[in-house]
A = this chain, B = another copy of it.
């Protein structure tokens, strides 16, 4: 149930609604909008009676919400979610270009790549200190030393840092060093982790699971939001299908579908989505053309020496050229870069 308040509503009226919800044993989630405030009710198993609320002063309407997600849905909040990370806007007109290596391998490597990213015009730096790998025998990331290197990258370049947390215990450490906490595709339904980052002060970068439906992606975002962290960036990174010409099948049509139902920003990762360097630029262009709020791409100064996912990392020149293409494309879809 969503309680939409009148435009001139008073604080006391708002408080009365919240108290009533809590007395019923449910949770009230006030969502301030540009025009008016709305209050989402969560925690109820069964539908509530709209009249219970519509008779209260200051209440414009009580709407039964049919979609399983509430806080992240447009019914709750029709305007796009916009926020900024160290001054870089997300979800607004300017596109976010998040770039960097798959994994932080050394200080030299990270700084070399970060300079390429910053110079070309990327506005966020990515790099994994903890790497979820299919095999226990693959490189698993540098851990805390990797986080320290990332902090140094930010210090040197000013780029906000996006990096992955792999379990609830690990979140605190990531919070200490990073600006955005990434949840990887394999952890999209790791609910303990989602609840933990829902309590974080940092924005969350939530990757779609390899076979997650759009509803499941939004429900996972709902887990984060229901713990009161509304600063969520969704990310399409390719899904698993029968098609074997690419590592995954990048599902670009999910971008307009998400935008239709949710107010959250959604980005696209064509590096994981294709797994091949020469496919990254065409699909990054397509991502911008389809309406994504940004892209996440892997860049490496020496891809052939990368400890993970080398074949999908762009060479520096390729990244620079991609940035130029995106700069030309952005205005055609009402964006800036």
Contacts and interface: CB of A to CB of B under 8 A. Distances in A.
A235 to B, nearest CB: 15
- What band does the interface of chain A fall in when counting residues whose beta carbon is under 8 Å from B? 35 or more
A187 B194 CA distance: 13
A111 interface: no
Contacts of A241: 239, 241-242, 249, 251
Given A45-B137, A242-B240, A251-B243, A289 B288 contact: yes
Contacts of A252: 250, 252, 283, 286
Interface in A161-204: 166-170, 186-187, 189-193, 195
A137 B242 contact: no
A1 B167 CA distance: 31
A169 B168 contact: yes
Contacts of A213: 242-245
Interface in A192-236: 192-193, 195, 210-211, 213-216, 219, 222-223, 226
A21 B141 CA distance: 23
A36 to B, nearest CB: 24
B329 A289 contact: yes
5 contacts: A134-B216, A215-B245, A239-B241, A241-B251, A332-B332
Interface of A: 42-45, 68-69, 132-137, 139, 166-170, 186-187, 189-193, 195, 210-211, 213-216, 219, 222-223, 226, 239-246, 249-257, 260, 273-274, 278-279, 282-283, 285-291, 325, 328-329, 332-333
